[in-house]
Amino acid sequence: MTILLIEDHALVRAGVKRLLTTVLDAEILEAASGRDALAILRSRKIELIILDLNLPGLGGLELLRRIIQMNAGPVLVLSMHAEPLYIRRALEAGASGYATKNISPDELLTAVKRVLAGGRYVEAELAQTLAVQGPGPPPGFANLAPRELEIMRLLAKGSSLGEIAEEVGVGYKTVANSCSQIKSKLGVSRTADLVRLAIETGVT
C-alpha cells in the first residue's frame, strides 16, 4: 500500500508518517507542494492521499479538484482550518474525509482506516460544528467553484492577477473574468471587498 502525504511542514509530515507506520504496512510518500504532489500522482499508484489545504503556491482546494479529476485515489483532508466553509467545500469537491491537525492520533487512524476501506469520515467535533452551523456557508459562497475560492485565497495573500494565473495554471484574462464573476456572486464591486470577505470567512 502506498500513501501520499501532501504537507508543507516537515515536522507535521514526520509526525503523521511515524503514526501511520506504527499500524499500517504502507510506503509513505511525501510532497511539500501541490506541484510536487501532481508529479508523484502522475507516476505512482496511490491508495490514499492525505492533503493539507494550506499549501504554498497551488492551494489545497484547487489541488483537490485536480486530484479528483485525475481519479488518483481517495483524499483525506488534514488541515488547520476548522471553518464549516472549508469542510463543506472540500467534501463537495470530492474529499472522502476531513480532519483538523488538532485531531487525536487514535481518531486520525480511525479516519485513515475508514477512508482506505472506501468510506467517509469527518472528525467528530467538526461534524458537530456542521450540524450546529446549519446547512450552508454564508450567502453567495455556495455558488463559488473550487477554483474561485482558490483565487480568493491567493488575492487575500496579496498575489497579483498575473501571479494567480501562473499558480492556478490559467490565463490572465481567465483570472480577471473569474474575479468579475466572484464579485457578482458575492454582491460586491471591489477586489478589496473580496479580500475582506476571504479573511472574514477563513478563505486565507
Domain with 191 in it? 141-200
Are 67 and 17 found together in one domain?
A: yes
Q: Are 191 and 155 in contact (CB under 8 A)?
A: yes
pLDDT at 124: 84
Cell readout for 91 is 467534501
Looking at the fold, whether 37 and 81 belong to one and the same domain comes out as yes
CATH of the domain at 104: 3.40.50.2300
Same domain (yes/no): 86, 67: yes
Number of domains in the chain: 2
Taking the alpha carbons at both ends of the chain, their separation in whole angstroms is 33
For residues 90 and 22, state if they share a domain. yes
Co-location of 69 and 118 in the same domain: yes
State residue 131's pLDDT score.
Answer: 61
The angle formed by the CA atoms of residues 20, 22 and 27, to the nearest 5 degrees, is 55
Q: Which residues of the chain have pLDDT under 70?
A: 129-140, 142, 200-204
pLDDT at 145: 78
pLDDT tens track for 1-31: 999 999 999 999 999 999 999 999 999 999 9
pLDDT of residue 146: 77
Helix (H, G, I), strand (E, B) or coil at 6: strand
- Burial class of 69 by CB neighbour count within 10 A (0 to 12, 13 to 18, 19+): exposed
By the 8 A CB rule, do 34 and 6 touch?
yes
